[in-house]
Chains A and B, each alone.
Chain A
């Protein structure tokens, strides 16, 4: 949480020596509060002041990294409660739960490790495997953990056990992997802390927030600071409520005991309800979400939810400028222009696909703005469109030199025809993308 100038001032030497380049300590403190200066500029600041200001400037939610090397997945570092305020920082991780005594363990782990989907140019996969000690047998648990660690080197590992001894043994079976331990309850915290210290991150579970807060303080006090908190909600309302209370205290009050990433067990017997609960967790602050099985359709949806919610509200997603060929195009196929705002592109591309008419889609770089916004900002002009079309060389592939404009920028058609020159003809398309299929089909019929 941001400090005020006055709060910072209290920790400065108050000598007004000007060595920092500012006339007074207070003036310097104001600059620090506005994040326009760094404490390093004051050569007289005490160690205590450095520690205090260092801690205060750290994000209210601690960064916790699960896994090592290729598998490292950073969590936390969030600074706001709502996406429209500022971009959420570290995307949540989806973990697939698997029992250590599952006879199909090897096959399932391979499936999770190999699982890969491509959607709109982004490659997705699951992030972690959560191995549960269902067997109740320490040796079996360690063996299963080792199998997972070997078979899925790029995934994080969660050791799901409440038994300190089993956890200790399993940790040796995945040395150096920096797994997440799930986890400690109030009764077992003392035994588990020394076992995980320096080797793994730890989930603390308690349904009572006072208890959870006390556990977090105790763990941090003992030097185990890579914590994930599980307020053990019994239903969706409790999940939303507890996550909100905890994250709000962390962000608005810099309440340290809740300044950690949050854990959600979304496993539900009804896979569709599980998908819905996991969506809720994705939207509302959960950083590690455990699912009951790998289901491609559920992963595709959740990974898309995550992609959506962790986008920058100020900086739109973009696609590359180029002419995308959709379907098997020939000389007669239509040529459509649009902008490189990812949303615009996906909607238009989707409708072209729906039309089943092979089409060339010329996507112009306008720094990721929608058609009308780009036009209003002077980035989608006749001159720029003409330049792009000409430089692309698409002309040579066309039998009729015709380009279709989005209906919203019909005003550009005359100027564009002039700029393109020659035999070029500009056709104004419909306004809304959902009318594209009809439009293209009608055009194909001639």
Chain B
């Protein structure tokens, strides 16, 4: 007896968003079915992984991070170039940590300078992330957007208190935008509605629904992503159709499981493999739920996820 496969009828489609310029530009999204469900629709473009680079050396960092990036800390342009040329990165995500008002508090002009240098060093797409303090990000990302004019970057994160400034800067300089919301399906829709009300095109938005590391709320993120994707594809909710970005690097490398040495916790196993797995595993869960862009840090974890993606996109 032949099994009658039950196919889901999707009415919506994940928007396609292109980042970068020239032949290194990347397009994500485009699926007309749940992630990798090519048996009942289009799988869309392959999800993209961007390497996180920082504009100043981190205060403290797990051993695996240090091992991978020590030589590049302090020179983001050279770091970005290394990712592009040596690691075959598809994209990089520059995090302007130095602008944090509670830290070094570098000004928007410094950030703009860094953005220019990084862009001069690469031709792959660039994601520009602020320090994640709403007021400061408004100023910094505006300056960064001006500095990156014409390079079709993805900038963010736009939040309730700063989205107007950032959206205006993105429009006038031709960039795409990350719309951030705090782990809540309705808030995620809300910020997209607010953005489109300013005249921002929904097709230029990427949703960041808040990343959580494995063991630290992963299930909340997982379920919010699954619900956003279902709303976009099954209910054809236009506000829930942008591709999703998960900023894993900002959450994974802070948790105890990637930091605690074997001397401390021998039963948790090799700390370097453990950290790699923690980031790769978080990534795979996010991809399964519906992520299109991942910001990651460990080259070994990226490699494992790319290999898994090779299989998933077959």
Residues of A within 8 A of B (CB): 82-84, 115-120, 209-210, 213-214, 235-238, 240-241, 244-245, 248-249, 252-253, 255, 257-258, 270-273, 275-277, 279-280, 283-284, 295-302, 304-305, 307-309, 311, 313, 343, 346-347, 350-351, 353-354, 434-435, 438
Whether A284 pairs with B277 at a CB distance below 8 angstroms is no
* B289 cross-chain contacts in A, Cβ below 8 A: 283
The interface size bin for chain B is 35 or more
13 A–B pairs (Cβ distance < 8 Å), ordered by A: A236-B36, A240-B312, A258-B3, A271-B273, A272-B276, A276-B304, A279-B281, A280-B288, A295-B270, A295-B273, A297-B274, A300-B268, A305-B285
10 closest A-B pairs by CB: A296-B269, A297-B269, A297-B274, A236-B311, A272-B304, A235-B311, A84-B223, A308-B219, A304-B215, A276-B308
Alpha-carbon distance between A82 and B290 when the two chains are bound, in angstroms: 13
Given A270-B304, A272-B276, A275-B281, A309 and B268 contact (CB-CB distance below 8 Å): no
Whether A300 pairs with B269 at a CB distance below 8 angstroms is yes
Residues of B within 8 A of A (CB): 1-3, 5-6, 8, 35-39, 102, 214-220, 222-223, 226-227, 230, 254-257, 259, 267-271, 273-274, 276-278, 280-281, 283-285, 288-289, 300-301, 303-305, 307-308, 311-314
Whether B102 pairs with A435 at a CB distance below 8 angstroms is yes
Known: A83-B222, A276-B305, A296-B269. 12 other contacts (CB 8 A): A82-B223, A117-B267, A244-B37, A272-B277, A272-B303, A276-B283, A280-B308, A305-B214, A307-B215, A308-B214, A343-B216, A351-B254
Whether B36 pairs with A237 at a CB distance below 8 angstroms is yes
Whether A240 pairs with B36 at a CB distance below 8 angstroms is yes
CB distance from A248 to the nearest CB of B (A): 5
* B285 cross-chain contacts in A, Cβ below 8 A: 279, 283, 305, 309
Alpha-carbon distance between A297 and B268 when the two chains are bound, in angstroms: 5
Given A279-B281, A301-B277, A305-B218, A116 and B267 contact (CB-CB distance below 8 Å): yes
Alpha-carbon distance between A235 and B311 when the two chains are bound, in angstroms: 6
Whether A117 pairs with B268 at a CB distance below 8 angstroms is yes
Whether A309 pairs with B288 at a CB distance below 8 angstroms is no
Whether B38 pairs with A241 at a CB distance below 8 angstroms is yes
Alpha-carbon distance between A76 and B35 when the two chains are bound, in angstroms: 24
Whether B277 pairs with A236 at a CB distance below 8 angstroms is no
Interface of A is mostly: helix
Whether A83 pairs with B311 at a CB distance below 8 angstroms is no
Alpha-carbon distance between A116 and B312 when the two chains are bound, in angstroms: 32
Whether B6 pairs with A248 at a CB distance below 8 angstroms is yes
Given A83-B223, A237-B311, A350 and B269 contact (CB-CB distance below 8 Å): no
